[in-house]
Amino acid sequence: MKKVGFFQSIQLKLIIVLILLLLLAIQVIGAYFVRGLEESLKSNFEDTMTQRIKGLTEYLEQAFTKERTEGGEGPTLKQEVASIIETYDSELFSDLKVIDNQYRVIGTKDDQELIGKRITEERITQSIIFGTPSTTEMREQGSLDRIQVRTVPIKNGDEAIGAIYIVASMESIYDQLQRVNEIFLRGTVIAVIISAVLGILVARTITRPITEMRKQASILATGDFSQKVNVYGNDEIGQLGTTFNDMSDRLRQAHVTTEGERRKLSSVLSNMSDGVIATDTSGHITLMNESAEDLLGTSFDDVKGRLLTDVLNMEEEISDVLDTEITGSRILDLSDDEQFFLLRANFSAVQDEDEHVSGFITVISDVTEQEKVEKERREFVSNVSHELRTPLTTMRSYLEALTDGAWEDQEIAPKFLNVTQTETERMIRLVNDLLQLSKMDNKGHTLYKEKVDFVQYFHHIIDRFEMNKSEDILFERQFPRDHVLVWLDKDKMTQVIDNIISNAIKYSPEGGKITFKIVKERRRVVISIADQGVGIAKEKVDKIFERFYRADKARSRNLGGTGLGLAIAKELVEAHNGHIWAESKEGKGTTILFVLPLMQKKRRNR
């Protein structure tokens, strides 16, 4: 694992966060403090200015309103104004002028040459004309110093008889603020340095266990579960370390279990006579055992990553195979000009807990010899069928002759006719069954499928049997209330169900019950027909769908069975992309089950 640099570590991030929080706090406090200090200093400055100007104004008003006679004794107005200015002079005032109502300067703080001269400044003119004071803050011309300019009218009653023009410097206020800001800056630098040192110490206590867990995780990834993480406390990080150690123990146990299962699976796959091929979700081969390599004549390295359908020479797309939920088998013809070679492939989809297909398992076996036997058997059935048609026709002709006259022997003729007719009908049924199987084997039958509500369709078939059955046999139906739509050939499927129900009735005892059930699943429907007959031995259950096989030969012949009904049913169900099987216990009855695919939504909307 790549080592994390300091500038990318969580330690630096914690330090930066701590410093940023400190800076934020200092800036908020400093801004609030400086703002309050500035307002306080300005307020004090204003109060001081107001008090001094108030006293100066009162004395100047007395001087301006004092009566004087020409040639009389006493100081003149200019002299009194000069005396008042000298008395009330302040360091706050950088400039002070007293102007009469003729806009002439009659007194000033510094520049005595302005006395007697007229001043037409707008602020002074407005104060004399309107009798209103004014206050203005500005920058002094030729300098960046901040000053406050005030004009205050000198009144005689409500009439302005002069004005005071005052300029006061405010730099002392901002000098104090500057010194305070410098103090805050130095304090901030010191606080940041201390915080950085403390942040490093604090961050190490947090990141040290995390760093150890990161290193331990790297060790776990290599399969070494012997190391443990040190736990430094009972806080959240300590609990995390404890949990990490518990997880390490569980991973070790799971690894041991998985390794054991892997070895078992490897041993099973290696010793299987059948070939096993596993694929991923898209159908690409991910696993193959030695038996599959021998059967396909190739190595796993050569086919790894290839599509299963390409390796098995299948015409279907892998998506079509993966979409089907009905597991079944297919015969794959891998013959060439020199050798006849057939494989049986059993397909099953691997699903996760959400029922999504996560892969595909295919089991292949060599059925060449078996297919050869089946082929010979099918040929035999076809030949026997054709050979039996002639004697059957002769027997029917013989029966017609007996019907025309030979029946006059009242003792022998009726028995002879009855036996002959019974055997003839049985042989005719046998021939018909053989011919139907022969057509199926040679793919000579065509299905005429249509959309069918299976619940209603099944009701109709059962009703037909219920009208003719013995009163000692009970029928029980367990059907869903909603529609179950399937795509099937009604005539062919009726033949399947008729055969199964007929067998159930034949083997049901008096007072027995036959249960018909329909179970709708996600993408298929399961149909079952259960009787309470004698049942079938466990080792014989899987054989009842073979041709000519009878579980109880004597009873089957007495009941008129040919041994081909279930074989035909199996062929027809599989032609509908379905699957049929049996479940039975001796003395407790037999259940025949088959599944059919439900109609897909796209087909329903057509």
Tens digit of each residue's pLDDT (9 = 90 or more) over 570-594: 888 988 889 999 998 888 889 999 9
Interatomic CA distance for residues 436 and 434, integer angstroms: 5
Q: Do domains 11-67+75-175 and 272-366 have the same CATH topology?
A: yes
Beta bridge mates, 150: 135, 166
338, with CB counted inside 10 A (0-12, 13-18, 19+), is: exposed
- The answer to whether 560 and 426 are in contact (CB under 8 A) is yes
pLDDT at 528: 94
- The answer to whether 562 and 429 are in contact (CB under 8 A) is yes
Residue 540 Rama label (left phi>0; alpha psi -120 to 50; beta)? alpha
Burial letters 493-517, b for 16+ CB under 10 A, else e: bbbbbebbbebbbebbeeebebbbb
SS3 state at 423: helix
Q: Who's near 191: CB < 8 A, 6+ residues apart?
A: 22, 26
Interatomic CA distance for residues 543 and 546, integer angstroms: 5
Q: Where are the beta strands (DSSP E) in 229-387?
A: 275-279, 285-288, 328-333, 342-351, 357-366
Q: Which top CATH class is 371-441?
A: mainly alpha
Looking up tokens 């040192």, which residue turns up? 197
Q: With a cut of 60, say whether residue 555 has pLDDT above it.
A: no
Give the rounded distance of the alpha carbon of 462 from its chain centre: 47
H or E element at residue 73: none
Residue 527 DSSP label? E
Domain ranges within the chain, ordered by starting residue: 11-67+75-175, 272-366, 371-441, 450-604
Query: What CATH number belongs to 450-604?
Result: 3.30.565.10
CATH homologous superfamily for the domain 272-366: PAS domain (3.30.450.20)
Winning range, highest mean pLDDT, from 361-365, 487-491, 509-513: 487-491
Residue 91's alpha-carbon distances to 54, 105, 231, in angstroms, are: 16, 21, 71
Q: Which amino acid is at 203?
A: A
pLDDT at 554: 47
Q: Which top CATH class is 11-67+75-175?
A: alpha beta
Please tell me the total number of residues recorded for the chain in this structure: 606
Residue 557 banded pLDDT, cuts 50, 70, 90: very low
Beta bridge mates, 526: 519, 595
Strands 328-333 and 342-351: antiparallel
Percent of the chain with pLDDT over 70: 78
H or E element at residue 16: helix 10-65
- The answer to whether 382 and 434 are in contact (CB under 8 A) is yes
pLDDT at 560: 47
pLDDT at 518: 93
Question: Could you read off the pLDDT of 426-459 as tens digits, one per residue?
Answer: 667 666 776 766 677 666 567 888 999 999 999 9
SS3 state at 299: coil
Mean pLDDT of 129-143: 80
Sheet with strand 579-585: strands edge to edge: 474-478, 513-520, 524-530, 589-597, 579-585
